[in-house]
């Protein structure tokens, strides 16, 4: 009575899925709305920065040549012929032993090539005319920010696929990107299945539980950078179910279902894939949890049939769905970032299959350490809350001891990894 | 002509500000909108999980006592009297040598205390009646998830102030939180000052630059968890300026200005604080960049006068404004998370004052390493883009060499630190 499924390796599963990756689409959003989005084009310097020679400090702009003879015993005097703040441009041409009082950010006046900071100058008036004097030689270029010193026009400053952070916002503004080209968020459809599922506001009754997977996956989709369209619970009746899935496929880029993919007696999804004529890439993966994860292709769209078990559902999404979403966000490192960490506690359980353990990874004295964030039984959602990583315990291993080095996948990270891990 | 200001230490500055911290306010949002918000109350288990004994795998629910005699040479036969999926409840009372075919997640039928997995059972029919047999003894409780095994009713599962992640979303749904108590986002007003500032869509002209600080700070506010109200550029005229600041203070929780706080000749902010009668907590901090950062209190509101220099502005916000925002989000670790890292390159510059160097911190073979992400001159915004951290180089140090241990503040982190660092 049991259907036999042939498990494929995780690497092979990812490879199969990535063959069907969808390319990203650009949309333009106002710079005020671009924080947290992903650049869909390289950010290019549209001008030099600075685009004029400027004073990085308050002081007096001078011709350095006039300071050659200045020393402790021989102060050199300058007539202060103008006074400018940031944003102002002096109309004067500065001549011999003349200076302009200048504030941070202002453009260097014509003829000047150095700034004397207030601290090293003495200023005073003679007959109502301002003067200043200095007692040291100032080299050409001292305290001047030169054109293009920070960025050269045409330079690629940030690569496409990068998450826009506050620093990138500053750059976008500097270069006049009032509208910013960002990756359109892929639209992910989501169905839950399971007669046991109650809505979040329903009272508990024996045998039934509230639908938690849909809210969890919706947040995972958002964290990955997508937008979710939640279609609700699939009806228990096959034909209605089939129509709902087929209709949804015409509206979204990617379709996720949770539950119903096992070989259990009430699992409809395999039948739906069959009736659709979808190409099933695989329906069993050599991993725990998430072994029943099924991925199918229909009409160029990817259907992710994730397990109804919360842990398996979570892991299946992060390993298989996330990289597809990230690819649509122009990332060239779409997979979860993998790092090495020291195991904090013993994990004596043997691992016939590669196991992903929800874990809390932290930094201790500059070293990455990781500890399972709860029991790792099926159906246990509590451990998901504290988890910021998945610990990889490879198949065929006999358990791990505290202090062993393990690999972890970082869930809250924006850097990512390339494949293969 | 120079105003003399007495710098205070960073620790003292933070302490002064934190005396004026504002408590958070709760608002309720739909669970679908709660991802990425901060819990304003502890998340409590409103029921046991599971709230009934259930099967974590597909199989046959049996009375373990009936398996006592089972062995390779003595298979024990069970009549299969019912068949239930998740969400169904069997109406049968299971008697001697009877079993119920049960799917993952379904409630254990009355009388049963163990589940025999399909793999170890042989099922068949006799005269149209389903049977199964097993050849091994099954202990009481085998393959059963018991009431409260995962969470006990009344237990505090997640503390207030925690960022809601996908796992917490699952928990909120499980416990029926259709509306979630979250911290209201503090409203932060923002003014830019500076005659040199152009709007993002204006053409560059000599001496002027586009206003990048406002977009940068707006994103920093969002990253910290607040909402920004951008009031635009302060006019150059003092009285209009004064009125604008005063009016804004009646509308927001916190007010940030960028620029105009120096002792430069065109800096109006000190005069505005004076005319307001605001209590200036400090106007100089022993740090680089950001030494001119000024913080004042008026009518219970905090005014952050950040430097107009992009780097100083960035650092001032993260050190001084962020913890105030995080406190309003119920965090008890509101300061930037501090960790130790190995310096990747030489940084030979001496540090008369504590210096914050924008840096890229990364993990290499399980170790945190950090490298300055660009030149560290004033006015250089380019280095901000790649920065995910601020390296702290303490005042009074003579420079650092590659391989030295340094402290870094992590900018993209949600965990935070307590004070003092």
pLDDT in tens, A20-76: 999 999 999 999 999 999 999 999 999 999 999 999 889 999 999 999 999 999 999
Query: Which of B85, B104, B176 lies at the smallest CB-CB distance from A201?
Result: B176
Write the CA distances from A352 to A288, A344, A406, B67, integer angstroms.
9, 22, 17, 27
Query: Quick one: pLDDT band at residue B268, thresholds 50, 70, 90?
Result: confident
A280 to chain B nearest CA, in Å?
23
pLDDT in tens, A70-110: 999 999 999 999 999 888 999 999 999 999 999 989 999 99
A32 to chain B nearest CA, in Å?
7
pLDDT at residue A119 above 80? yes
Query: What class is the A28-46+156-183 domain?
Result: alpha beta
Rounded-to-integer distance, Cα B33 and Cα B169, Å: 10
Quote the pLDDT of residue A30: 98
Quote the pLDDT of residue B334: 97
In this structure, are residues B305 and B257 in contact, taking their beta carbons and an 8 Å threshold?
yes
Chain A residue with Cα closest to B387: A167
What is the mean predicted confidence (pLDDT) over A139-167?
93
pLDDT at residue A194 above 90? no
Answer yes or no: do B216 and A166 touch at CB < 8 A.
Answer: yes
The answer to whether domain B28-44+157-183 and domain B337-410 are alike in fold is no
Quote the pLDDT of residue B374: 65
- Residues within 8 A of A (CB atoms), B 37-76 only: 47, 49-52, 54, 56-58
CATH topology for B59-134 is Molybdopterin biosynthesis moeA protein; domain 3 (2.170.190)
Optimal mutation site among A173, A198, A357, interface B, most CBs of chain B within 10 A: A173
Q: What token pair was written down for B359?
A: 């840096």
Least confident of A183-187, A314-318, A384-388, B328-332: A384-388
Quote the pLDDT of residue B194: 86
**Which residues lie across from B150 on neighbouring strands?**
none
Quote the pLDDT of residue B3: 65
pLDDT at residue B126 above 50? yes
E strand spans, A254-293 = 254-258, 279-282, 287-288
Quote the pLDDT of residue A265: 65
User: Is the CB of B161 inside 8 Å of chain A's CB atoms?
Assistant: no
Optimal mutation site among B44, B343, B366, interface A, most CBs of chain A within 10 A: B366
Nearest to B221 by CA among B231, B210, B229: B229
Quote the pLDDT of residue B48: 95
- Residues within 8 A of A (CB atoms), B 277-306 only: none
In this structure, are residues A145 and B379 in contact, taking their beta carbons and an 8 Å threshold?
yes
Q: What is the percent of chain B with per-residue pLDDT over 70, rounded to a whole number?
A: 95
> Is domain A10-24+185-328 annotated with CATH 3.40.980.10?
yes
Decide which of 2.40.340.10, 2.70.98.20, 2.40.50.140, 3.30.420.40 is the CATH code for A337-410.
2.40.340.10
Task: Output the DSSP codes for A350-374.
Answer: -BSSEEEEEEEEEEETTEEEEEE-S
Residue B353, classified by CB atoms within 10 Å of its CB into exposed (0-12), middle (13-18) or buried (19+), is middle
ipTM of the complex model: 0.94
Q: What is the mean pLDDT of chain B?
A: 93
A172 to chain B nearest CA, in Å?
8
pLDDT in tens, A205-252: 999 999 999 999 999 999 999 999 999 998 778 899 999 999 999 999
Optimal mutation site among A59, A153, A363, A386, interface B, most CBs of chain B within 10 A: A363
Query: Quick one: pLDDT band at residue B265, thresholds 50, 70, 90?
Result: low
Domains in chain A: boundaries: 10-24+185-328, 28-46+156-183, 59-134, 337-410
Chain B residue with Cα closest to A358: B167
Q: What is the mean pLDDT of chain A?
A: 93
Least confident of A89-98, A381-390, B173-182: A381-390
Nearest to A342 by CA among A315, A363, A357: A363
Q: What token pair was written down for B288?
A: 């680089």
What is the mean predicted confidence (pLDDT) over A315-323?
97
Decide which of 3.30.1330.90, 3.90.105.10, 3.30.70.580, 3.20.20.370 is the CATH code for B28-44+157-183.
3.90.105.10
CA atoms within 13 A on the CB side of B320: 38
Residues 6 or more apart whose Cβ sits within 8 Å of residue A115: A55, A56, A57, A59, A60, A61, A62, A102, A108, A142, A143, A144
User: Is the CB of B170 inside 8 Å of chain A's CB atoms?
Assistant: yes
pLDDT in tens, A332-361: 999 999 999 999 999 888 888 999 999 999
Question: Residue A417: its chain B contacts at CB < 8 A?
Answer: none
Give the Cα-Cα-Cα angle A363, A367, A368 (nearest 5 degrees). Answer: 60
Altogether, the residues listed in chain A come to a count of 421
Chain A residue with Cα closest to B43: A385
Q: What is the percent of chain A with per-residue pLDDT over 90, rounded to a whole number?
A: 79
In this structure, are residues B75 and B133 in contact, taking their beta carbons and an 8 Å threshold?
yes
Q: What token pair was written down for B163?
A: 């960022």
Residue A389, classified by CB atoms within 10 Å of its CB into exposed (0-12), middle (13-18) or buried (19+), is buried
pLDDT in tens, B210-247: 999 999 999 999 999 999 999 999 877 889 999 999 99
Query: Which of B85, B177, B212 lies at the smallest CB-CB distance from A265?
Result: B85
Query: Which of B118, B207, B214 lies at the smallest CB-CB distance from A52?
Result: B207
Rounded-to-integer distance, Cα A215 and Cα B168, Å: 9
Optimal mutation site among A51, A57, A100, A166, interface B, most CBs of chain B within 10 A: A166
User: Is the CB of B382 inside 8 Å of chain A's CB atoms?
Assistant: yes
């Amino acid at each position: 009575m049991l259907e036999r499924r042939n498990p494929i390796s995780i690497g092979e599963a990812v490879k199969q899925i990535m063959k069907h990756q969808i390319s990203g689409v650009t949309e333009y959003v106002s710079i005020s709305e671009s924080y947290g989005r992903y650049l869909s084009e390289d950010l290019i310097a549209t001008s030099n920065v600075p685009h004029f020679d400027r004073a990085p400090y308050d002081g007096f702009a001078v011709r350095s040549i006039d300071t050659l003879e200045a020393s402790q015993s021989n102060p050199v005097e300058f007539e202060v012929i103008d006074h400018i703040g940031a944003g102002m441009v002096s109309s004067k041409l500065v001549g011999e032993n003349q200076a302009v009082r200048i504030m941070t950010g202002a453009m260097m006046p014509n003829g000047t090539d150095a700034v004397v900071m207030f601290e090293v100058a003495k200023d005073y008036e003679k007959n109502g005319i301002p003067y200043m004097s200095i007692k040291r030689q100032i080299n050409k270029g001292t305290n001047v920010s030169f054109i293009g010193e920070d960025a050269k026009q045409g330079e690629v400053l940030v690569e496409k696929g990068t998450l826009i952070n506050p620093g990138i916002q500053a750059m976008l503004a500097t270069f006049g990107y009032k509208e910013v080209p960002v990756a359109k968020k892929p639209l992910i459809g989501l169905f839950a299945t399971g007669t046991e599922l109650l809505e979040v506001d329903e009272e508990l009754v024996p045998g039934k539980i509230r639908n938690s997977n849909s809210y969890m996956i919706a947040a995972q989709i958002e964290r990955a950078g997508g937008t979710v369209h939640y279609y609700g619970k699939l009806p228990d009746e096959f034909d209605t179910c089939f129509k709902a899935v087929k209709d949804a496929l015409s509206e979204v880029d990617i379709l996720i279902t949770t539950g119903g993919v096992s070989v259990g007696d009430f699992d409809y999804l395999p039948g739906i894939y069959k009736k659709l004529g979808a190409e099933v890439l695989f329906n069993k993966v050599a991993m725990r949890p998430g072994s029943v994860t099924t991925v199918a292709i229909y009409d160029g769209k990817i259907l992710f049939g994730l397990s109804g078990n919360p842990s398996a559902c979570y892991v299946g999404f992060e390993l298989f769905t996330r990289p597809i979403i990230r690819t649509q966000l122009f990332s060239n490192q779409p997979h979860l970032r993998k790092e090495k960490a020291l195991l904090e506690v013993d994990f004596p359980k043997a691992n016939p299959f590669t196991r992903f353990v929800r874990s809390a990874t932290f930094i201790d004295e500059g070293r990455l350490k990781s500890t399972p964030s709860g029991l790792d039984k099926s159906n246990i959602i509590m451990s998901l809350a504290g988890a910021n990583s998945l610990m990889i315990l490879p198949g065929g291993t006999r358990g791990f001891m505290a202090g062993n080095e393990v690999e972890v996948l970082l869930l809250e990270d924006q850097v990512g990894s390339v494949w293969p891990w």
